[in-house]
Amino acid sequence: MDLNTTWFVLLGVLLAGYAILDGFDLGVGILYLAARNERERRLMLNSIGPIWDGNEVWLVTFGGAMFAAFPNAYATVFSGFYVAFMILLFALIFRAVSIEFRSKRDSLWWKRFWDCSFFGASLLATFLFGVAAGNALLGMPINAGGVFIGSFIDLVRPYPALIGLLTVFFAVMHGAIYLYLKTEGELQQVVHRWMWRGFGLTLVAYMLATIYTLAVMPQAVRNFNEHSWSWIVVTLTVLSFANIPRAIFLGRPFYAFLSSSLTITALVFLFSFTLYPNLVSSSISPEYSLTIFNAASSEKTLRIMAIIALIGMPFVLAYTAAIYWAFRGKVKISEHSY
């Protein structure tokens, strides 16, 4: 596997890691208003309280890695989607500070404000991520210089909006499964219902998205046809997704969480594989598309970056796992909680 493809894969790993981890943070945020009282709200908040920040770093590192490995794609995407990225930043800022600020005053309106902010920001960010993915698949008007010559309205089309919805529903399901693991009693019952609702909504959106993708972009399967082993991944996606309700029904929520995470990984694979070797497809002319070859850094940089990742990421995985282990079990409100 050449160095550029290796980096494409590594970016996919970072993206999948982010989607799995911040996926449930954002899902909890979207589900947040389903909590019926102060105690339930605090339990939901504290289920992600200690770890949401570390989870968001996967996004920051994904951005940094994209900048380092494929600077031309990073530049085109971030400047082209300017307004979308600014709205995303708005959402991410408010998600972050809502968690921190909420518990700092006892007044009702203060808590209500940051509650709504936390919910709204989580919902907005999740939807935007999906819209971005949808646009990436569909292709955008990029000229020869890699400059996006459309406008913000071009990004809000039916297909990306559907992918945005799919992302939101998946986050709801994934977040609900996580919450099911972390809560007990009545709150857990509420969450249980949302696991099923989340799954149902995701199933419908997933089927629609698949049909729509194949109808609107028949060329999307070109890579799959050329490399038939990839159909195993497609099968795996469906199987792991189908295992989610099965695991919930069998009363094995951690198995459901694993299946959900595996499905996310598989979907990221499908997304990446569909794009490959493009990073940004130009709807004006395929010659203007940014690929992992014409948008990449020099070989030396890719090599050095690979060494950095090889040294750094195992440590990251190890201590992240250890920290999660320290917070295992049901959420407990203590004096240090939010």
Partner 1 sequence: MPFLNVRFLETTSYMDVVTLSRVQFALTIMFHYLFPPLAIGMGAFLVFLEAGYLKTGDAQFEVAAKFWTRIFALNFALGVASGIVMEFQFGTNWAAYSRYVGDVFGSALAAEGIFAFFLESGFLALLVFGWDRVSARMHFFATLMVSLGSIFSAIWIVVAISWQQTPAGFVIRDFVTPAGIVKRAELTDFWKVVFNPSAMDRLVHVVLGAFILGSFFVLSISAYYLLKDRYVDVARRSFTTALAVAAAASILMLISGDAQGRIVARYQPAKLAAMEGIFQSTGTGAPIHIFGIPDAKSRVVRYNLEIPGLLSFLAYRDSSKPVPGLDGFEPDTPPVALPFFSFHIMVGLGIYFLALAVYGLWCRARGTLFKKRWLLWTFVFSVVGPFLANELGWVAAEVGRQPWIVYNQLRTGDAVSRGLGSSQVLGSIIMFAVIYALLLAVWIYLLNDKIQGGPELVSMPGEASLRDALNVASRYPGRTGSLTETKE
Binding to partner 1 (CB under 8 A) within 280-309 occurs at 287-290, 294, 297-298, 300-301, 304-305, 308-309
Which residue's entry shows tokens 């799954």?
199
Regarding 31 and contact with partner 1 (CB under 8 A), the answer is no
- Of 34, 166, 30, 39, the C-alpha closest to 98 is 30
Regarding 68 and contact with partner 1 (CB under 8 A), the answer is yes
Q: CB-wise, 65 or 165, nearer to partner 1?
A: 65
Regarding 24 and contact with partner 1 (CB under 8 A), the answer is no
Regarding 277 and contact with partner 1 (CB under 8 A), the answer is no
Shortest Å distance, C-beta 180 to partner 1: 21
Q: CB-wise, 124 or 290, nearer to partner 1?
A: 290
Residue 42 is encoded by which pair of tokens? 């605090």
Q: How far is CA 229 from the centre of its chain?
A: 25
Interatomic CA distance for residues 200 and 20, integer angstroms:
19
Among 77, 131, 168, 195, binds partner 1 (CB under 8 A): 77
Shortest Å distance, C-beta 288 to partner 1: 5
Regarding 75 and contact with partner 1 (CB under 8 A), the answer is yes
Regarding 86 and contact with partner 1 (CB under 8 A), the answer is yes
Cβ(15)–Cβ(62) under 8 Å? yes
x/- letters, 137..166, toward partner 1 (CB under 8 A): ------xxxxxxx-----------------
Among 26, 31, 65, 168, binds partner 1 (CB under 8 A): 65
Name the DSSP letter for residue 150. S
Query: What are the helix (H) ranges across the chain?
Result: 3-31, 38-48, 52-69, 71-80, 82-101, 108-138, 152-155, 158-182, 185-216, 222-226, 230-249, 253-275, 299-326
